[in-house]
Chain A
Amino acid sequence: MLRLPAFEYLQPASIDEALRMKQNAGPRSQYVAGGTDLYPNMKRRHEEPKTVIALGGIDELGQISLESDAPFLGAGLTLTEVATQPRLRTTHSAIAGAAGLVSTPLLRNMGTLGGNLCLDTRCNYYNQSYEWRKSIDFCMKKDGTVCWVAPSSPRCWAVSSSDVAPVMVALDAQYTLVGADGERQVPAAGFYHDDGIEFLTKRPEEILVGVKLPAPNGWDAMYLKLRRRGAFDFPVLGVAVYLEWNESEVQDARIVLGGVASYPKPMTDASQLIVGSTLDDDVIAAAAHAAFKPTKPMDNTDFGLAWRKEMTRIYVKRALTELRTRHRDA
């Protein structure tokens, strides 16, 4: 069996206590919520915290308020709770939908919203056992110096594999972080970095408390996920689209791709192309092409990179077509 290494396990009852424990434990400590990301990584020795601080017992992180003008989801909600929340499924169906597409029911029961938003980047040169990684002299994300995806590259190309994060970026949601200096708000797009190692702007001691969502006032959004098996795979492509309509015209749009870069990648050109349009077939084709062109998936997930790139065109087209149909039918 693949065994967990020995570690100290702390259970704070409040955010303040968690912050104090983190400060005391020093750099070789890590927060854990559901553990569906961290524990497998620890078994494979990707992450080797000496102290693990469990956030599961902190009630503040489980808050949810959807009735107000500033809807809020606590980071400690499980993905099952997010996916099945009846009101969220109406007001923010793209979020509930994306949460419901993460992994399997069992892992969604354990895994949290915050965990998915902070998901470690993935790479099939990295998500391997210690012995396997040793056989390729390790990689720069852990224990090595080379990025095997692009050996001459100075950076790590591990892939952002969160399903919910691209939706949050598309919705321009605001993340609430609490650290030693108190609370701060970060727009979702500003939370992520295009680097496989430093993929979050969050400071290590900061805790993601929750997410402020836009009030449901007429905008629409959706998320499409491409993966080998509907049963449980990570995305090899995620397409999140946010649209604001003004009658038959698109007033604002944000297209964000997951699974193709080290961060949820906003497709600015493609988004701009559809603003002001009525989303006719030729506009959709042009936007799909504009999303396809700059996308540069690397050879470090399931499926070949050329096909994954090709699929950005197909999936952006499908998402836009579906949103247009919804609007015209409404």
Chain B
Amino acid sequence: MAKSDGNGLRVVGRAQRKVDATPKVTGETLFADDLSFPQMVYCKTLRSPHAHARIIRIDTSRAEKEAGVLGVLTGTDLPIPFGILPVSQDEHALALDTVRFIGDPVAAVAAVSEEIAGEAIHLIDVEYEQLREITSVEDALANPEPRIHDYGDSGNLHKLISLEFGTVADGFDAAHLVREDLFFYEGSTHLPIEQHAAVAMYSADHRLTLWSSTQTPHYVHIALEKVLEMPASRIRVIACPNGGGFGGKSDPFSHEIVVSKLAMMTGRPVKATLTREEVFYCHRGRHPTHMWVRTGVTKDGHITAMHFRTALDGGGYGSYGVASTYYTGALQTVTYQVDRYKFEGARAFTNKPPCGPKRGHGTPQPRFALEVQMDKIAEQLKLDPADMRLKHLVPADSLTANYLRVGSMGLAECINKVVTGSNWKERFRRLPHGRGVGIACSSYISGAGLPIYWNNMPHSGVQLQCDRSGGVTVFCGSTDIGQGSDSVLAYIVAEVLGVDPFEIRVVTADTDLTPVDLGSYSSRVTLMSGNAALQAAERARELIAPEVAKQLDVPTSRLVFAESRVFDGENPETGTTFAEAVQAAEAAVGTIGTVGSYTPPASAGRYRGSGVGPSPAYSYSAAVVEVHVEPDSGIVRVPKVWIAHDIGQCINPTTVMGQVEGSVYMGLGEALMEEMAYRANRRVVHKCPSMLEYKSPTTLEMCEVETYLVTDPDPNGPFGAKEVGQGPLLPIMPAVANAVYDAVGVRVDEVPITPEKVLTALKRKANGKEGGGRYGPTHFPEIPWPDPTRVPPPWEGGDGKAIRPSDEDAKAAAVAQPERQH
């Protein structure tokens, strides 16, 4: 057991392996597809070959007669809709009457082998009536009919948002410089190595168990309860260790419901393992986003007003889309002070696989736009872009214009670290043609302030059991998707109880055995389940300490829990083993079990839409990216990235670094090559649903990374810890764009920054053509924005509530925009 550092911590903050490392490395870990049960059968899904069509007739008789086929399902067998958000219950396990993208599930077969199931789905005859496909945001705006869904704000517009914090017009009047820029951010997908898989088993006493590669077993539990019309108490959902998620396994999915229903029908365990192509159709990845940004600044770069518009291509279903749309406008205010802020966001339904939450959920797109625009502003103001940012940082412990409460704020130190580490001052605008550096910053939430469905219960719960062998078991609903959340639970409990983290038994992500944790999304797990574990462990210590104090005859305040012992801190040889301490406590008070839970602090904003953005703590990141650009081909290579992340406090610096470097890697993919491309002229089919042709970097394309961890403990985090799973992704894409400009003097105002775009911009520059060396969108879609909800910022005397419109205005607004909870 390690000795305590200066801060008194023995486990927390120490670099060590994950508690599940050995089984992962040896191949012992069972992922969902590794599971096998006696009599198990296999499920395959028939998917729509049309992007938009009505189902006229389905005939399953030929498939049902096929030898080896045990069950066939169609939409009418599972008619109840579901969806991750209460406002978007728009999915069916199998299409009921309409298909909305190529790959939409239509029917499913269970058979004794995967081969037979795969052949039998082609014996299902489906007659379709094709409908006009909606291919893009512009197409959705121009064609309100045919509607993809019969709900939403109008036609094929799923959601329209308009919020104004202070009068931006006044801010623009006060500005020295007002810039307007257009940006586009292409869609991309998560690409976890593990393809989704699920196995369902239905017992003779009518209990259903589902094992699944999911990040959110609790929400899958709720969806199964609803669609199967079964009491949740008879359904058990177990999230297997995930081979990567990145947000792609956060929705309840068709195949999870289908195998459950087929298990109930056939009485056999039923398994589905998706092909890579099907994973592309599950998608829920980055929304392609058009952006228009108007920003006013003073001579030294202080933002007097910002007006931000986003238009998101949502794909065929709601998914997290309403939240995603709010997120494209939420976090602009938490890095640099923004005096007045207006956000207008729209999400369109289109006939493509649904978009949703991918790492950074809705914030990489606006962050790209904001950080590239900052670079342009700094150049126009003749300021160093790092210095300009440093000068206008949001102060710690403050409230933003849109009522986000910033606690600890380590961005200044992050910027200083990467500026010094990269030798920025000697290199920015000073490297030879073809080489350049760029800087960008970002921030992300450490968990969302509100749950996905309204309730006032804790977001995370932990039960802790200390047995007389000295063993400790932590039970928590949290799901380890490779990020190390099981390890975080063990480290935190080990720290408090003074035992070896590798001796702690961690039981997670099982709705029968573990208290609810909302899931591994929104970078919430270390902070929320960590706090719950901390509370449970402290309560256990409070149960154990008095009995040891009695035995040793020392005050409890002098007891130290460390090295698997409980001892007198002033006289360390006087003590007892941890096991003896538990035995003493058990003898005195009975079985030693405690609970802990965590509920985030209430949000400061109280306007409609204020639910997206608040977080117990914000992480901060800054990155400098170096690029080499070939002027004759436009090919961009990234040899090195310097990145600093304000983590608050590392629970384990090794896994924190892993998340930072993994974010850099994913960020480079989005910056340079990844594209969810569709053949718009060929029925909106996905251009290349394979890992070979969907271009994402491999380890051989990965650059050198210099990582700096900035620790500035946040009072809301366990031991001061904040998130790291998503934030460090965000500065990479804009830093690459800014570096390309530094290298060859052209702006690519969209991602991915492909060689074609760079070369086109270089030619335009050489020819003195429009834009003088820019590649990017030339217009923003025409969107019928509603009147904004007006909220005065805190410094204008606001209290977080919207200004009440006059009664007449309110009536008009109510008609135009029916109230909707999100």
Contact residue among B277, B700, B756 (Cβ-Cβ distance under 8 Å from A132):
B277
B259-280 CB contacts (< 8 Å) to partner A: 273, 275-277
A1-B273, A131-B49 are contacts. A314–B632 as well, Cβ < 8 Å?
Answer: yes
Q: Which of A128, A229, A303 contacts B701 (CB 8 A)?
A: A229
Which residues of chain A (3-36) have a CB below 8 Å from chain B?
3, 5-6
Binds A, one of B440-448, B680-688, B791-799: B680-688
Which residues of B lie under 8 Å from residue A233 when comparing CB positions? 692, 695
Indicate if the CB atoms of B687 and A135 lie closer than 8 Å.
Answer: no
Contact in complex: B114, A3 (CB < 8 Å): yes
Interface residues of A in 105-141 (CB under 8 A from B): 124, 127-129, 131-132, 134-136
Q: How far is the CB of A261 from chain B (nearest CB, A)?
A: 20
Known A148-B682, A229-B700, A229-B701; contact A3-B693, beta-carbon cutoff 8 A: no
A228 within 8 A of B: yes
- Which residues of B sit under 8 angstroms from A131, Cβ to Cβ? 47, 49, 277
Closest B-chain residue to A226, C-beta based? Answer: B633
Say whether, besides A124-B687, A314-B632, A229 and B695 are in contact (CB < 8 Å).
yes
| B497 close to chain A: CB less than 8 A | no
Using A3-B118, A148-B682, A231-B700 as known contacts, say yes or no to A307 and B755 having CB atoms under 8 A apart.
yes
A108 to chain B, nearest CB (A): 14
> What is the interface residue range for chain A against chain B?
20 to 34
A contact residues around B533 at 8 Å (CB): none
> B758's closest neighbor in chain A, by CB?
A307
Closest Cβ of chain A: how far from B191's Cβ, in Å?
Answer: 13
Residue contact B49 to A135, C-beta cutoff 8 Å: yes
Give A132-169 interface residues, CB cut-off 8 Å to B: 132, 134-136, 148
Q: How far is the CB of B230 from chain A (nearest CB, A)?
A: 29
A311 touches B698 (CB 8 A): no
**Does A310 reach chain B (CB closer than 8 Å)?**
yes
Q: For the complex, is B541 an interface residue (Cβ under 8 Å from A)?
A: no
Report the bound CA distance from A233 to B690 in whole Å: 12
Q: In whole angstroms, what is the CA distance A132 to B276 when docked?
A: 12
Contact of A231 among B47, B114, B698 (CB under 8 A): B698
Report the separation of the CA atoms of residues A148 and B277 in the bound assembly, to the nearest whole angstrom: 20
Whether A306 is near chain B, meaning CB under 8 Å from some CB there, is: yes
Contact residues, A230-260 vs B (CB, 8 A): 230-233
Q: How near does chain B come to A81, taking the closest CB pair, in angstroms?
A: 22
Q: Is B102's CB within 8 Å of the partner chain A? A: yes
A310 to B275, alpha carbons, bound, how many Å?
36
Residue of chain B at shortest CB distance from A301: B693
Nearest CB of chain A from residue B540's CB, rounded to whole Å: 45
Please determine whether B115 and A3 come into contact, CB atoms closer than 8 angstroms. yes
**Complexed CA–CA distance, A232 and B256 (Å):** 34
In the complex formed, the residue of B with least CB distance to A234 is B692
**B50 in contact (CB, < 8 A):** yes
**B50 x A229 contact (CB < 8 A):** no
* Distance in Å: Cβ of A132 to nearest Cβ of chain B: 7
In the complex, residue of chain A having the shortest beta-carbon distance to the beta carbon of B701: A229
What is the CB-to-nearest-CB distance from B295 to chain A, in angstroms, rounded to a whole number? 32
B49 in contact with A134 (CB, 8 Å): yes
* Interface membership of B759, Cβ < 8 A: yes
Contact bitstring A294-311, B, C-beta under 8 A = 1, else 0 = 000000001110110011
Interface residues of B in 579-604 (CB under 8 A from A): none
When chains A and B are docked, how far (Å) is the Cα of A127 from the Cα of B690? 10
A330 beta carbon closer than 8 Å to chain B: no
Complex formed: what's the CA distance from A307 to B759 in Å?
Answer: 8
Judge if B81 is at the interface, Cβ distance under 8 Å: no
Chain A residues within 8 Å of B692, by CB: 232-233
Establish whether residues A135 and B683, one from each chain, have CB atoms under 8 Å apart when the complex forms.
yes
- B286 CB to closest chain A CB (Å) equals 19
- Residues of A within 8 Å of B687, CB to CB, are 124
In the complex, the answer to whether A129 meets B698 with C-beta atoms within 8 Å is no
Closest CB in chain A relative to B512 CB, distance in Å: 29
B673 surroundings in chain A (CB, below 8 A): 228-229
Q: Which residues of B contact A307 (CB under 8 A)?
A: 634, 755-756, 759
State which residues 655-689 of B face A: CB under 8 Å: 673, 679, 682-683, 685-689
Is B720 part of the binding interface, using a Cβ–Cβ cutoff of 8 Å?
Answer: no
Chain A residue at minimum C-beta to C-beta distance from B117:
A3
Q: A2 contacts which chain B residues (CB < 8 A)? A: 275-277
Contacts A129-B275, A230-B700; A124 near B49 (Cβ below 8 A): no
B756 and A135 contact, CB distance less than 8 A: no
CB interface residues, A 213-237, toward B, < 8 Å: 228-233
Find residues 586-643 in chain B having any chain A CB closer than 8 Å to their own CB.
632-634
- Distance of A308 Cα from B697 Cα, bound (Å): 20
- A5 CA / B122 CA spacing, docked (Å): 14
5 example contacts (A-B, Cβ-Cβ < 8 A) are as follows A148-B682, A229-B701, A302-B693, A303-B756, A314-B633
Question: Ordered nearest first, which 7 A-B pairs have the shortest CB separation?
Answer: A135-B49, A231-B698, A231-B700, A307-B756, A228-B695, A135-B102, A2-B275
If A128-B690, A136-B685 are given as contacts, then 14 extra A-B residue pairs at C-beta distance below 8 Å, sorted by A number, are A1-B273, A2-B277, A6-B115, A124-B688, A129-B275, A131-B47, A131-B49, A131-B277, A134-B49, A135-B102, A136-B683, A229-B700, A302-B695, A307-B756
